[in-house]
């Protein structure tokens, strides 16, 4: 996956190809960006890429190559999303999205009735937002009521955030413009296509896990309590989808989201073997096991949910 990102990058820097070929290489970089995010960085930040802690730390840092920030990811994904899955105003994966209503708790606007039409265009902007979002999130975690849920960013964390963003600009913009014949316009087009490809793939895969028919969005009571155990809550709010083995490999086993949410510290290569055990146990105790029979049906279910939430 890192090769799928870095080899096309190196070929672009070689300055041996036409702008058209470079554009194709930018698309490959986008696919590599998404692949690294799902298959490498994701497990590493969960501590399940390796049994050796420093290996996890090393490979979790590849998020910086994608323009993201490790600490912000761990707060937003590991702490908030995995603990408070599909709960409005806490799980940032479904709350407060630009022009999108993915949560029943978000205010409904007239434009949301068309969100099933334009949503995927916005999904392509996901990784673009990393650059600004990480700074905004750091400020939010340091000044909002969520301090009870997450630790504030320290000065060292802020320094790492700023330094990593500057290095990303050097990696993705300064070097290509300095050592190749690309014009700024050509670079900007390639940069946009690379990030749109990555954002579209990443967002679509993540949405198929939680914003589909059958995935609940529990509402806490007045005291902020959700009356369910954590594991059963994951079963009610998460969904799997079946897909070809090659696609499952590429997306880091995220077609087995139920197993991932129950066992985030176990490598994704074991999810396929865990799946029938989890399903059998769920059926034994009358707990839902939400599994879409195919990628196409999962995608259709997500579109139906976009329509429902936009009505």
Burial of 82 (0-12, 13-18, 19+ CB in 10 A): middle
Q: Which residues contact 274 (CB under 8 A, 6 or more apart)?
A: 256, 259, 263, 266
Q: Residue 22 has which token pair?
A: 């470079």
What does DSSP assign to residue 52? Answer: S
Helices (H), 180-269: 184-210, 230-237, 245-250, 257-262
Three-state secondary structure readout of 250-267? HCCCCCCHHHHHHCCCCC
- Residue 188: the pLDDT is 97
Distance between CA atoms of 288 and 233, rounded to whole angstroms? Answer: 10
Each residue's pLDDT tens digit in the chain (311 positions)?
999 999 999 999 999 999 999 999 999 999 999 999 999 999 999 999 999 999 999 999 999 999 999 999 999 999 999 999 999 989 989 998 889 999 999 999 999 999 999 999 999 998 888 878 888 888 887 776 555 677 788 889 999 999 999 999 999 999 999 999 999 999 999 999 999 999 999 999 999 999 999 999 999 888 888 888 999 999 999 999 999 999 999 999 999 999 999 999 999 999 999 999 999 999 999 999 999 999 999 999 999 999 999 99
What does DSSP assign to residue 129? Answer: T
Helices (H), 50-150: 53-60, 70-73, 82-83, 115-123, 130-143
Q: Nearest-CA neighbor of 168 among 86, 247, 69?
A: 69
Q: Which residues contact 12 (CB under 8 A, 6 or more apart)?
A: 22, 25, 26, 176, 180, 182, 190
Q: Residue 250 has which token pair?
A: 């590429």
Q: Residue 92 has which token pair?
A: 């940032």
- Residue 64: the pLDDT is 94
How is 81-108 classified by DSSP, letter by letter? IHHSTT-TTT-TTTSS-TT---STTSPP
- Residue 146: the pLDDT is 52
Bridge partners, residue 292, by sequence = 241
- Total-model pTM: 0.92
- Residue 133: the pLDDT is 84
């Amino acid at each position: 996956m890192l090769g799928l990102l870095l080899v096309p990058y190196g070929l672009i820097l070689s300055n041996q190809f036409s702008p058209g070929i470079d554009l194709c290489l930018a698309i490959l970089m986008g696919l590599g960006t998404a692949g690294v995010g799902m298959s490498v960085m994701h497990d590493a930040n969960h501590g399940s890429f390796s049994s050796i802690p420093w290996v996890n730390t090393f490979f979790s840092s590849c998020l910086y190559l994608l323009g993201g920030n490790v600490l912000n990811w761990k707060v937003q994904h590991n702490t908030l999303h995995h603990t408070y899955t599909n709960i409005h105003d806490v799980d940032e994966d479904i709350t407060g999205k630009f022009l999108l209503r993915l949560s029943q708790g978000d205010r409904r606007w007239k434009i949301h009735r068309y969100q099933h039409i334009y949503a995927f265009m916005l999904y392509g902007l996901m990784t673009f937002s990393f650059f600004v979002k990480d700074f905004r999130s750091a400020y939010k975690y340091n000044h909002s009521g969520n301090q009870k849920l997450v630790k504030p960013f320290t000065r060292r964390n802020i320094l790492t955030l700023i330094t990593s963003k500057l290095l990303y600009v050097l990696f993705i913009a300064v070097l290509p413009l300095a050592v190749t014949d690309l014009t700024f316009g050509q670079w900007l087009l390639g940069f946009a296509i690379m990030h749109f490809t990555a954002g579209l793939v990443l967002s679509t895969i993540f949405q198929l896990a939680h914003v589909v028919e059958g995935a609940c969005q529990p509402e806490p009571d007045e005291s902020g309590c959700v009356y369910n155990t954590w594991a059963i809550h994951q079963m009610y709010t998460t969904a799997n989808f079946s897909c070809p083995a090659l696609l499952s490999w590429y997306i880091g086993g995220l077609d087995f989201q139920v197993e991932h949410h129950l066992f985030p510290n176990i490598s994704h290569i074991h999810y396929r073997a865990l799946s029938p055990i989890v399903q059998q146990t769920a059926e034994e105790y009358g707990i839902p096991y939400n599994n879409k029979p195919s990628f196409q049906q999962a995608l259709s279910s997500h579109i139906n949910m976009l329509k429902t939430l936009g009505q």
